[in-house]
Structure 1
Amino acid sequence: MADQILKRDEATLAQSTALEKYSSLHNWRCQVADLYAAVRAMPGRDGWMYWRSARDRLFREHLQSPLASARRAQFRGIDYFPYDPAMRFKVGLGAAIDREIIRLEAGKDGLMTLVPFAITQGLDSPLGKELTLYWIEGYGGGVFLPFGDLTNGQESFAGGRYLLDTIKSADLGSSDDGELILDFNFAYYPSCAYSEAWVCPLAPTENRLPVPIRGGERNAIP
């Protein structure tokens, strides 16, 4: 009888833990989706300031924050490069030719497959190189754009930063004429920059820009 009660209690605890975990993850995803929708509606510095304040609040208060609970109490906000309107681009897309599929381990999520499907058209002149966009395979899929630059390891996270991750609603959309909007003021760190508990895909070699990108998240981990 005691064993049965123990197993029942363990099952109840596991169910309660799952409820808290997935309901809080759902809430995080909803808030991030609402955040990027708001930013798309107010492009420019005002949207960037709103994005910053909302991210600080989520990092400080939310159960799904990549910061451990002990660090949240000391959190003073994420550091960013100053806003620069020249860091916002509208680019076309061409077919990704001679780009390899990337497969990597993603911790508890198992094997992740990144399929190159497009190359930007319009960044070579200002930034010295075009970037490859990847499609994350799996149910629903999503567009993923990690990048590296010459600030990595000194002024920003050594593993690079993200611009797009549409599975998690990080998406600035397209212009009226169909060009993709890439705004490096909104570049952000992967979760693994904050905790070893996370396993994140980092910027591949072909997305390492030969210039410093002084826009978006920078410097010390909060």
Structure 2
Amino acid sequence: MTEFEQLWDWRQKIANLYYEIRSTADPEGAWRIWCDTRETLFRTHPQSPIELADRGAFTGPVTFPYDPALRLIVRTAPAHPERRTVSTGADGEVSMGAFARTEGLQAKFGGELTLYWIEGYGGGVFLPFTDATSGKETYGGGRYLFDTIKGADLGNVRPDGTLLLDFNFSYFPSCAYSSRYVCPLSPSANALKSALRAGERHR
């Protein structure tokens, strides 16, 4: 396959993975599928962010144990209008606008989270965050929960206005693994004061 066909295949596999997650009734079972599938992709797929020379010894992304207490249903409200433009190296710039803000995380985690709509053709939802583990137990630039352009989609806002945030599916951006990537990092508005020990972590 050409490089573009490999990337197409990677995107399709990620999209299929998240479809399976959304279709699985058991949240922890869905998380195990997520962990196992990502381990295989990171070790074997040509588009893995792991450097080719390191893939043979790579045993997959490491995660905290599944914590059902960090699977939350929250309400959202319109966000204060904000537009951000982020450099992504050779790929140019990515522009995004805030469109929603969570309600209900402050008391437990010391902050709320802004959801961004990535502008440009098609667009997509982007939800990065940092917490008290960032730069210590997890990647300092933060983790992603949603990046729907790349297929990372746990589900949208429900008819009653609530949103599922399952932090067990938080993951590192590709730039955490390789300098080949330049990724949008989490803005200061999405800094949670508590430690969310769920999702991907350092070894």
After TM superposition, the score normalised by the length of structure 2 is 0.95
Residue 68 of structure 1 aligns with an amino acid whose one-letter code is E
**Contact 2:130–2:143 (CA under 8 A) maintained in structure 1:** yes
RMSD: 1.3
Alignment partner of 1:170 is 2:156: no
- My pick for the range that moved more, 32-41 or 177-186, is 177-186
Q: As a proportion of its length, which structure holds more strand? A: 2
Gaps spanning 5+ residues in structure 2: where? none
Residue 41 of structure 2 aligns with an amino acid whose one-letter code is L
Q: As a proportion of its length, which structure holds more helix? A: 1
Indicate which of 113, 118, 121 corresponds to 2:103.
121
CA distance in 2, matches of 1:84, 1:196: 31
Cα deviation, 1:68-92, whole Å, max 9, x if unaligned, reads: 1111111112111110001011122
1:117-196 correspondence runs (5 A): 117-174=99-156, 175=158, 177-196=160-179
1:7-22 correspondence runs (5 A): 20-22=2-4
Cα deviation, 1:136-155, whole Å, max 9, x if unaligned, reads: 11100000000000101111
CA distance in 2, matches of 1:177, 1:57: 37
CA distance in 2, matches of 1:150, 1:118: 23
CA distance in 1, matches of 2:59, 2:153: 26
Indicate which of 53, 56, 61 corresponds to 1:70.
53
After TM superposition, the runs of 4+ consecutive aligned structure 1 residues lying more than 3 A away are 174-178
Cα deviation, 1:40-93, whole Å, max 9, x if unaligned, reads: 111411000000000001001111100111111111121111100010111222
Gaps spanning 5+ residues in structure 1: where? 1-18
CA distance in 1, matches of 2:10, 2:33: 17
CA distance in 1, matches of 2:54, 2:100: 38
Deviation at 1:120, TM superposition (A): 0.9
After TM superposition, the score normalised by the length of structure 1 is 0.87
Name which one, 1 or 2, has greater alpha-carbon Rg: 1
Indicate which of 109, 112, 115 corresponds to 2:91.
109
Alignment partner of 1:93 is 2:76: yes
Deviation at 1:122, TM superposition (A): 2.0
